[in-house]
Each structure stands twice: as structure tokens, then as C-alpha cells.
Amino acid sequence: MLRWALIFLIIGAVLAVLGFGGIGGTFIGIAKILFFIAIALFVIFLVLGLLAGKGVKDKIS
């Protein structure tokens, strides 16, 4: 997901430099959305992993 965000960011920056500001801004907007989705998924999976680890630890002890 972060790879796609970086790709969209680079394409948007190149388009903006070349004078295609409208579509460049759209690409950068998509990159922002993908970045925040990736961060949200990271936090969700981090919390789930920590909770699952505690459950397994309690069952083993």
C-alpha cells in the first residue's frame, strides 16, 4: 500500500512540474488517501497482534 502511495506521489509531482497541475493534484490526493489507509491498517493490525499475543501468553502459562 505504501509503495502505491509513493508511486502516485512521484507521478503527481512529475505531472505538477510538467504543468499538468489538475491531474497532478489528483494523483497527490490519491497518494494521501492510500497513505492514511496504510497507517490505519498498520495500527489496527498492531493492536490485534498485541491482543492476540496476550491471549496466547495467558493460555500457555
Reduced to 3 states (helix: H, G, I; strand: E, B; else coil), residue 20 is coil
Domain spans of the chain, in order of start: 2-55
Reduced to 3 states (helix: H, G, I; strand: E, B; else coil), residue 1 is coil
**Residue 1 — pLDDT band, cuts 50, 70, 90?**
confident
Q: Tens digit of pLDDT for each residue in 7-52? A: 999 999 999 999 998 999 999 999 999 999 999 999 999 999 888 8
Q: Which three cell numbers stand for residue 45?
A: 493490525
- Measure the CA dihedral 8/49/46/1, to 10°: 0
**Residue 54 — pLDDT band, cuts 50, 70, 90?**
confident
pTM recorded for the entire structure = 0.78
Q: Are 26 and 41 in contact (CB under 8 A)?
A: no
